[in-house]
Amino acid sequence: MIKTQDIPQPKAQATEMVKPLHSVRQYFGTDGIRGRVGVWPITPEFVLKLGWAVGKVLARQGNGKVLIGKDTRISGYMFESVLESGLSAAGIDTHLLGPMPTPAIAYLTRTLRAQAGIVISASHNPYYDNGIKFFSALGTKLADEVELAIEEQLEQPMTTVDSAELGKAIRVVDAPGRYIEFCKSTVASDITLNGLKIIVDCAHGAAYHIAPNVLRELGADVIELGVEPNGLNINLNCGATHPEVLRQHVLEQNADLGIALDGDGDRVIMIDHRGHVLDGDELMYIIMQHKMMVGSLKGGVIGTVMSNLGFEQAVKNLGLEFVRVPVGDRYIMSELATRQWNLGGEPSGHIVCKDLTSTGDGIITALQVLAAMRKRQLSLTELRAGLVKYPQILLNVKLSSPHISLDKPGIQQAIKEAEKELSNKGRILLRKSGTEPLVRIMVEGEDAQHVQRLAEQLAAVVKQELEA
């Protein structure tokens, strides 16, 4: 059995906070374009022209194919068709993957040598939302200049190439099998899951036909939840956004652990055999130690402004540097690339193992945790035991308009008063969500009741000020 003290410890470094990348975009947010179906810009008309604009920009760089994949929400059929039409009008061929996890589309974009990959998904949002996000030929998020070029092209009148130059569309029938094999290849060949009883909740989303097969082929006894998508039940009281459902099944069926994915399969939450919910900070803590043990961790760890103070301290206690970036995987990926590190993520369970794949991947993250369990012969409960988290409360306040400012004097004064109460023994963060019309309020400190009270006070002030 390998103990924490057996893991090599490099010299400690300071914590840093990286500022957001800055560029003016009209449509693109932190994770593509997302919103309510039928409300501009998530309409057939706009997405048709978006496909055309993407095609025109890509056509300047060559004539390669574009992959299109989606999650299981009902509007995916509609947007798949119009994207294909828009790309065809620009002279670009499309390869249709059908329902596939977002990270699978990133992987297949690389391995099928496509010019770009397009994902139709609103991730963890309800079925009535949808979105479009893009991957480059390298399986990474599009560069800022490419997104800006697409937005500029959207301002031009839509045209159609000559009939002989229209793009063609074909369906890729072996996409699931290709990705399943890739997922299995990310753990050592001597790692098996024989004897483990695992419950996996796929949120009725894009991983419903992938995750259970990956785990079974590695030897686990798998019980499936959330694998009957009907277009309307994606993320509905299940998956990573509702881990309490999985927790109940783990306890009732005496499983060794549970794995909860979100609707597009890029984030994961896990449950230990005692019913404890492990968030992204705890999973990163386990993966970090495992990578140190096998000598594959490069540099330090990237977290976000939402990462728990306890996790930051645990990283430093292992002698590693810890850097915070704004919420959003594009910021994590950018900082990992800049520093040439290979591990970063968010408490939401969106974790990037850059040495294994080019984006956040819920299945691959879960496999790294399972590999740590097998390698160190410890349970999830034992693996996360060295991490002591600060009490942290997250509350959401709905926005009536995305343009409402949080700089109102009443809100800023309430923040200052709450920070004074914490007396440098906690953190407060207010931010507008990049994917939903919400203000997210986070309060963190040493005393759970105090933190809860401050969070509720701030939420009340924010709601009052925004309504005013």
Active site amino acids: 123
Amino acid making up residue 289: Q
Dihedral of the CA atoms 401, 402, 408, 414 (nearest 10)?
100
CA–CA dist 401, 411 (Å, integer): 17
Task: Dump the DSSP string for 122-189.
Answer: -TTS-TTEEEEEEEETTSSBPPHHHHHHHHHHHTSPP----GGGPPPEEE-TTHHHHHHHHHHHTS-T
Residue with tokens 């594009």: 330
209 Cβ partners below 8 Å, 6+ apart? 99, 176, 227
Question: Strand, coil or helix: what is 390?
Answer: coil
CA–CA dist 132, 450 (Å, integer): 40
CA–CA dist 275, 17 (Å, integer): 33
Q: Token pair of 299, please? A: 């540099």
Give the full edge-to-edge strand order of the sheet including 277-278.
221-225, 197-201, 257-261, 268-272, 277-278
Closest CA to 75 of 112, 32, 127: 127
Amino acid making up residue 287: I
Do 168 and 91 touch, CB atoms closer than 8 A?
no
Do 454 and 50 touch, CB atoms closer than 8 A?
no
405 Cβ partners below 8 Å, 6+ apart? none
CA–CA dist 234, 213 (Å, integer): 19
